[in-house]
Each structure stands twice: as structure tokens, then as C-alpha cells.
């Protein structure tokens, strides 16, 4: 699909920065949708998005349902809940950054890297002999999941606008059903195999299949948003790294304080209280910084939050 790039001028540090937008013009979009054909290759590409996301759902929910079983086998450790928490923190802090990186380097590379990380993280966790190893595997799985979050954007780029609600609905329904049956599946695996490790071997297989399908069938075009006259690495330097640091530090400290309170440290001790307070204040500073500091690509674009009705509808949905 050949498109005509358009130049958008946006204010960035008191200078005009031209952004090369490779999205199609309205007349091109209309023509493309009229000529759209849902080929076998496109069907397998969209199925790869579903499988990658499904692997993340499985690796999270299957393990969550049998955390106490895992802890009794290779623990016990008071930090066993961090098998899941470590993954959620990584997803929360990396997902906004991955979105912009996919605009620079392409979503295909993000999916491929996410598939490799998913296989590696699942293998490390499945073979782990202590809780700390599973926590480390959870961090890698969180990186994988943050890249698979692009599934919704990639699906919207493949499917025409008029059929996107149906495509999104099918994908969300499949994921919801999988999440709903994860607890019975994981407990059945433990009963019939005598080990919890299949809660990680199963996501490894699904991740591997998703990687193969992405490699052979997902070759998107015209998905980049680039700053004119800058290399890819120069564009990376323009990312909101300070916002990324504040989000990572604030969220991690806040959750560490909540986790340690009552587990190893009294709630009224200086350790948990200081981490909770510093983490909360760091997140407040992040909000002020994102709202008032001019940036071309902020990690939390203020325009999204100013659209109260649209933002609320998305969050409720």
C-alpha cells in the first residue's frame, strides 16, 4: 500500500519539529478499505497477536492460581507474591515506552522480541528451583507482555475500520474465556502431572507458536511515525526518559513499601512508611511533570486525560 507522507508541525522545546506521518490520507483509507481482502496470511498474522497475548494471560493467571503450591514446593519464601507483582510492575512501566518504540522500529520487531522473551522467561520460571528465580523470570515475562500489548494496535492496522469492533470483540472474548478457565486448568495440571511447572511450559509453547506465525506472516507496512531528519537512535534519545524513570521509581517504591509492611517489617517502621511516602510523592511529581513540561512524545500525553469522556469510556470498557 503506497501512501503519501504528510508533515505535521508540533511544538517541542520552543522549536518546530516536523513529524513524518505515514498514515494514509482519507481518500487512500477509503480506497484501501474497499479493496481490502482478508487473506490466509493476514488471518494467521491476526491469530499470532491473539496467541502472544494469550501466552501472557496464561503465564499470569495459571501461576496466580497455584502460587501457594509453588511456594510450598521450592520455598517457603515470604516474597512469593512477587512472582506476579514483579511482572505487573514491568508491564505498567514498559507499556507506554514500548508503544513509542514500535513507532520508531516497527511493531513486527517488538512482537518478535516479545516472543523470544516470553520463551526465555517461561523456560527460566519452569526450571526454577527457588522463588527468586521465578521472580526474575517474572520480570522477563513482564517485558514480553508489555510488547504483546501492541496486539490491539496491530490488529486495528490490519482489519478495516468497519470490522474492527467485531475483530476486537472476538479477541477479547477469547482472552476472557482463557482467563476464566485458568484456575481449573492450572489445578488440573498439578493434579494430573504432579508438578506446577506446566503452568509455565504451556505459555512457552504458545509463545513459540506466536513467534513463528509473526515471523512468517506479519509483515506490516506504513506503521511508523518518525521525526523528520533524525535517525532512529536520535528519536530514541527524544523519548520521555525522565518520565519513565519517575514512573519506574515511584511505582516500585510504593509497591515495595506495601509488600514489606507486615512482612518482615512492622507497618509503623521507617522502612515501609518511607518507601510508600517517597513512592507516592514521586508519582505526584511525575503527574506534574507530564502535565506542564513541553514534550513531543510524553509518556502520558496530557491530551488523553483532558478528554475526560473518552478516557473514562476506555477505562470502563
- Of 1-10, 138-147, 205-214, 285-294, least confident by mean pLDDT is 1-10
Q: Which residue has the cell 506476579?
A: 84
Going from N- to C-terminal start, the domains of the chain cover: 40-221, 240-317
Lowest mean pLDDT among 65-69, 135-139, 215-219, 223-227: 223-227
Return the percent helix, strand and coil in the chain, to nearest 5.
70, 5, 20
Q: Is the pLDDT of residue 14 over 70?
A: no
Closest to 104 (Cα-Cα) out of 59, 150, 62, 156: 150
Q: pTM for this one?
A: 0.80
Mean residue pLDDT across the chain: 82
The answer to whether the beta carbons of residues 135 and 90 sit under 8 Å apart is no
The second-level CATH assignment, the architecture, of 40-221 is Up-down Bundle (1.20)
pLDDT of 54: 92
Across the beta sheet with 15-21, what order do the strands follow? 6-12, 15-21, 225-227
pLDDT higher than threshold 90 for residue 159:
no
pLDDT of residue 27: 42
In DSSP notation, 59-77 reads HHHHHHHTHHHHHHHH---
pLDDT of residue 31: 46
Which of 27-41, 62-76, 190-204 has the lowest average pLDDT? 27-41
Distance in angstroms (rounded) separating the CA atoms of residues 159 and 220? 12
Lowest mean per-residue pLDDT among 15-29, 125-139, 227-241, 302-316? 15-29
Q: What angle do CA 63, 148, 157 make, to 5 degrees?
A: 150
pLDDT of residue 310: 63
Total count of residues recorded for the chain:
317
Angle between the N-to-C axes of helices 151-158 and 164-180, in degrees from 0 to 180, rounded to the nearest 10: 150
Cα 13 to its chain centre, rounded Å, is 29
What is the maximal distance between C-alpha atoms in the chain? 66
Amino acid at each position: 500500500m503506497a501512501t503519501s507522507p504528510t508533515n505535521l508541525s508540533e511544538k517541542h522545546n520552543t522549536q518546530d519539529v516536523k513529524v513524518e506521518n505515514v498514515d494514509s490520507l482519507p481518500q487512500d483509507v477509503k480506497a484501501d478499505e474497499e479493496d481490502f481482502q482478508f487473506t490466509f496470511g493476514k488471518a494467521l498474522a491476526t491469530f499470532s497477536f491473539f496467541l502472544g497475548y494469550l501466552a501472557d494471560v496464561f503465564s499470569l493467571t495459571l501461576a496466580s492460581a497455584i502460587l501457594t503450591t509453588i511456594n510450598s514446593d521450592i520455598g517457603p519464601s515470604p516474597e512469593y507474591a512477587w512472582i506476579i507483582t514483579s511482572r505487573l510492575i514491568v508491564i505498567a512501566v514498559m507499556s507506554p515506552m514500548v508503544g513509542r518504540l514500535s513507532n520508531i522500529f516497527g511493531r513486527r520487531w517488538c512482537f518478535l522480541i516479545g516472543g523470544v522473551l516470553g520463551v526465555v522467561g517461561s523456560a527460566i520460571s519452569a526450571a526454577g528451583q527457588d522463588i527468586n528465580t521465578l521472580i526474575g523470570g517474572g520480570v522477563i515475562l513482564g517485558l514480553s507482555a508489555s510488547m504483546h500489548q501492541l496486539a490491539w494496535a496491530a490488529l486495528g492496522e490490519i482489519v478495516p475500520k468497519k470490522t474492527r469492533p467485531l475483530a476486537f470483540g472476538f479477541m477479547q472474548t477469547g482472552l476472557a474465556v482463557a482467563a476464566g478457565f485458568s484456575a481449573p486448568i492450572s489445578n488440573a495440571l498439578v493434579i494430573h502431572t504432579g508438578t506446577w511447572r506446566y503452568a509455565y511450559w504451556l505459555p512457552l509453547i504458545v509463545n513459540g507458536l506466536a513467534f513463528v506465525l509473526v515471523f512468517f506472516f506479519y509483515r506490516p507496512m506504513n506503521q511508523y511515525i518518525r521525526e523528520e531528519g533524525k535517525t532512529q537512535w536520535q528519536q530514541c534519545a527524544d523519548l520521555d526518559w525522565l518520565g519513565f524513570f519517575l514512573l519506574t521509581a515511584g511505582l516500585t517504591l510504593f509497591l515495595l513499601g506495601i509488600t514489606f509492611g507486615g512482612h518482615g517489617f512492622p507497618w509503623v517502621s521507617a522502612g515501609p512508611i518511607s518507601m510508600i511516602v517517597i513512592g507516592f510523592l514521586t508519582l505526584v511529581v511525575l503527574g506534574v511533570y507530564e502535565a506542564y513540561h513541553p514534550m513531543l512524545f510524553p509518556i502520558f500525553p496530557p491530551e488523553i486525560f483532558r478528554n475526560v469522556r473518552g478516557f473514562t469510556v476506555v477505562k470502563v470498557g
